[in-house]
Amino acid sequence: GNSVTQMEGPVTLSEEAFLTINCTYTATGYPSLFWYVQYPGEGLQLLLKATKADDKGSNKGFEATYRKETTSFHLEKGSVQVSDSAVYFCVLYNFNKFYFGSGTKLNVKP
């Protein structure tokens, strides 16, 4: 079947620290992978996506590489800011369906 597993949070970092949020998946066929961000009290916003193996999605300093050999799509940012504090969701799309990870809360302290 299809599923997404994210690292549990919360993740607490100091400003300018390096961020990694792990995401692994199980899927048949050729899924697409996404990261969404949710700020408090708001809807989800698309952060980045990758549609095939070895693609790298990037946006606002965040990056994630679609690794088929390790079935992973880890989110990284070199230097986080307080404004990056939010919940991050890893999402898989396969055969017309979306599968969500449970979300990882990031707290960035000044």
Partner 1 sequence: DGGITQSPKYLFRKEGQNVTLSCEQNLNHDAMYWYRQDPGQGLRLIYYSQIVNDFQKGDIAEGYSVSREKKESFPLTVTSAQKNPTAFYLCASSTRETQYFGPGTRLLVL
Site for partner 1, residues 53 to 82, rule: CB under 8 A: none
Least separation, in Å, of the C-beta of 43 and partner 1? 4
Q: Which is nearer to partner 1, 46 or 82 (CB)?
A: 46
Q: Hey, which residues does 104 pair with through a beta bridge?
A: 88
Dihedral of the alpha carbons of 53, 55, 50, 102, in degrees to the nearest 10: 70
Q: How many residues form the binding site for partner 1 (CB under 8 A)?
A: 21
Least separation, in Å, of the C-beta of 51 and partner 1? 7
48 counts as binding partner 1 under rule CB under 8 A: no
The position carrying tokens 């990694």 is 20
Q: Hey, which residues does 65 pair with through a beta bridge?
A: 56
Q: Which of 25, 35, 36, 88 binds partner 1 (CB under 8 A)?
A: 36
Q: Phi and psi (nearest 5°) for 99?
A: -125, 125
100 counts as binding partner 1 under rule CB under 8 A: yes
Least separation, in Å, of the C-beta of 98 and partner 1? 6
Coil, strand or helix at 84: helix
103 counts as binding partner 1 under rule CB under 8 A: yes
Cis peptide leading into residue 10 (ω within 30°)? yes
